[in-house]
Chains A and B, each alone.
Chain A
């Protein structure tokens, strides 16, 4: 199994009263509540934590993209990835991912990723996402064109990496007379591509296709949903006439390791409850802009998933659902072994810093994980 450290770079210094007043951590939470002095400290700390993960021997360090929110102050993950490309030496740099439909020029993503790949000496893992619903408000991007723009942008980026330019692209959503990116990526024929998702079957099928065989990464999901997606991936692969390897499947979830199970649970409690109940707080309408998913999927989500996730979560309900792992190194090791056997994933993405979790706890949890869990499972 391979291990990755994922940072969301949350901005925790917003009071509960302010969140209640504005009713959302996203889009409309006024940025007068952002204190640049605090932000400067946080960037220093968070980049340091990513670098520490490299030192501790994690196989990869991960960043992602969200706009106009205290949930994470990383609207441009490639800025962080660029810094990490210089300060780290060994870990893969995983951008999970850039939101393709949101921008008018997908070649910028092809270029930035190629730069990171060059600067890091071929350590980039390129993630592509559509961006969650609220990004369509924040970026004035049409949610009803999201799927179409995603696929066209993806195809163009992969061509820009793998075919020699200049060539012409005349699509429905993007048009370029000259596709001829400088630099080209170091990794040949292209950097590995990972697709984070919360379990859309369309996405699973698309990743499993023999033309792509992309790493499918299940994020923020109950155990049962992760299992369903991984089983579906393997079924799809078999239907295409090949066996999917564990290397094609990744699982990302919040995790916390402390000296004992009880201590882990109690130390994580306020932060993880804050994370699900405050940092992920925004109106349903912002999650599900019209046309973002098919009507059938939208209805299914309205009826099931959000009931489960929107309602106040406690650490106990999250542990029961398998949304989160917390425990002593021994418990975590045993749990991961069991889950790995059950789910058959080859990449484990540990979100070891959550919401308002302080630096000392984060460092402790990372170190315990890297020294007492990872060595028993690596390879």
Chain B
């Protein structure tokens, strides 16, 4: 795995890259960047490019970044700057929302889109989890259906890098405090996504509830919905294998 840093119109962007094959650009969620078990599996078949969004990790929240829409335009610049074509774009949670915002703007460089439990569209009946009000332990529990996985991570909480977690949260607040975790206008433009799109969603998601899938399913033509039973929000960890396999198969089929 390679750690790279590129300059995109004056904004530094850190990214991890591994594997070879059709390029897959993966956008992380609110919790920040990590080379998850799912990315490891994807890198067996793809050139996986996993950037750390501006304003996450050790980079301060950029002044220009006021919304997920700004972040989407930024990634369109990244794709251009890196000279990527036929990209399989994927994203989880906040990153899934960002992927959808990218795809409604321009799909000319995209081969497919995979949204894993994407934020971005709210449900009229089930609210998002209040990720900002939960304490760290509750937030960790609510990431997972399998509470054994949560327990393991709760034990590691005292070792968490406070600078990074505070920075990540500050940027998530900038982008998603209000309207909370969504762009109310997004459903109006989802019909513009004209490349094959797949939705992976845990049916027991306590952060971005499964009920939020309806806007995506109603508006994106031919979207493939893959509900995952007994699965929470943190799909890329909790259901790494199923997600990676589904994505590899989907990309292979759509890449033909």
Interface residue ranges, A against B (CB under 8 Å): 27, 136-137, 140-145, 283-286, 289-291, 295, 298-299, 302
Name B173's contact: one of A284, A286, A291, A302 (CB within 8 Å): A291
Shortest C-beta distance, B38 to chain A (Å), equals 26
Between A and B, 19 residue pairs with Cβ closer than 8 Å are A27-B133, A136-B177, A137-B132, A140-B177, A140-B178, A140-B180, A141-B177, A144-B173, A144-B174, A144-B177, A285-B133, A286-B133, A290-B132, A290-B169, A290-B170, A290-B173, A295-B167, A298-B166, A299-B162
Residue of B nearest to A172 (CB): B66
B residues within 8 A CB of A298?
Answer: 166
Contact A290 B166 (CB under 8 A): yes
Which secondary structure dominates chain A's binding surface?
Answer: helix
Give the complex CA separation of A302 and B61 in angstroms. Answer: 21
Give the complex CA separation of A302 and B178 in angstroms. Answer: 25
Residue B134 CB within 8 A of the other chain: yes
Interface residue ranges, B against A (CB under 8 Å): 61, 132-135, 162-163, 166-167, 169-174, 177-178, 180
Shortest C-beta distance, A288 to chain B (Å), equals 9
Shortest C-beta distance, A285 to chain B (Å), equals 5
Q: With contacts A137-B133, A143-B173, A291-B174 known, what are 8 further pairs, Cβ within 8 A? A: A137-B132, A140-B180, A141-B178, A143-B177, A144-B170, A290-B170, A290-B173, A298-B166
Give the complex CA separation of A283 and B132 in angstroms. Answer: 11
- A283-B61 contact given A290-B172, A295-B166, A299-B163, CB 8 Å threshold: no
Give the complex CA separation of A143 and B172 in angstroms. Answer: 11
A residues within 8 A CB of B170?
Answer: 144, 290-291, 295
Residue of A nearest to B172 (CB): A290
B residues within 8 A CB of A141?
Answer: 177-178
Give the complex CA separation of A295 and B170 in angstroms. Answer: 9
Enumerate the 3 nearest inter-chain pairs by beta-carbon distance, A residue then B residue, closest first. A290-B169, A291-B170, A290-B173
Give the complex CA separation of A289 and B174 in angstroms. Answer: 11
Shortest C-beta distance, B224 to chain A (Å), equals 35
Shortest C-beta distance, B41 to chain A (Å), equals 32
Give the complex CA separation of A143 and B132 in angstroms. Answer: 11
Give the complex CA separation of A299 and B61 in angstroms. Answer: 17
Name A145's contact: one of B132, B166, B174 (CB within 8 Å): B174
Give the complex CA separation of A27 and B130 in angstroms. Answer: 13
Shortest C-beta distance, B32 to chain A (Å), equals 13
Shortest C-beta distance, B66 to chain A (Å), equals 9
B residues within 8 A CB of A285?
Answer: 132-135
Shortest C-beta distance, A63 to chain B (Å), equals 27
For A144, A145, A290, A302, the residue with the greatest tally of chain B CB atoms inside 10 Å of its CB is A290
Residue of B nearest to A282 (CB): B133
- A142-B135 contact given A295-B163, A299-B162, A299-B166, CB 8 Å threshold: no
- A289-B173 contact given A137-B132, A137-B133, A284-B135, CB 8 Å threshold: yes
Contact B167 A142 (CB under 8 A): no
B residues within 8 A CB of A136?
Answer: 177
A residues within 8 A CB of B180?
Answer: 140
For B61, B135, B167, B177, the residue with the greatest tally of chain A CB atoms inside 10 Å of its CB is B177
Give the complex CA separation of A136 and B130 in angstroms. Answer: 13
Give the complex CA separation of A9 and B236 in angstroms. Answer: 50
Contact A142 B133 (CB under 8 A): no
Give the complex CA separation of A27 and B132 in angstroms. Answer: 13
Contact B169 A283 (CB under 8 A): no
For B134, B172, B173, B180, the residue with the greatest tally of chain A CB atoms inside 10 Å of its CB is B173
Give the complex CA separation of A286 and B133 in angstroms. Answer: 6
A residues within 8 A CB of B162?
Answer: 299, 302
Residue of A nearest to B167 (CB): A295
B residues within 8 A CB of A299?
Answer: 162-163, 166
Contact B173 A142 (CB under 8 A): yes
Give the complex CA separation of A298 and B173 in angstroms. Answer: 15
Contact B134 A142 (CB under 8 A): no
A residues within 8 A CB of B134?
Answer: 285
A residues within 8 A CB of B167?
Answer: 295
- A283-B135 contact given A142-B177, A143-B177, A291-B61, CB 8 Å threshold: yes
B residues within 8 A CB of A302?
Answer: 162
Give the complex CA separation of A347 and B178 in angstroms. Answer: 39
Give the complex CA separation of A5 and B117 in angstroms. Answer: 53
Contact A289 B132 (CB under 8 A): yes
Shortest C-beta distance, B150 to chain A (Å), equals 18
Shortest C-beta distance, B158 to chain A (Å), equals 13
Give the complex CA separation of A286 and B61 in angstroms. Answer: 21
Give the complex CA separation of A216 and B238 in angstroms. Answer: 52
Residue of B nearest to A24 (CB): B133
Give the complex CA separation of A295 and B180 in angstroms. Answer: 22
- A144-B61 contact given A290-B169, A295-B166, CB 8 Å threshold: yes
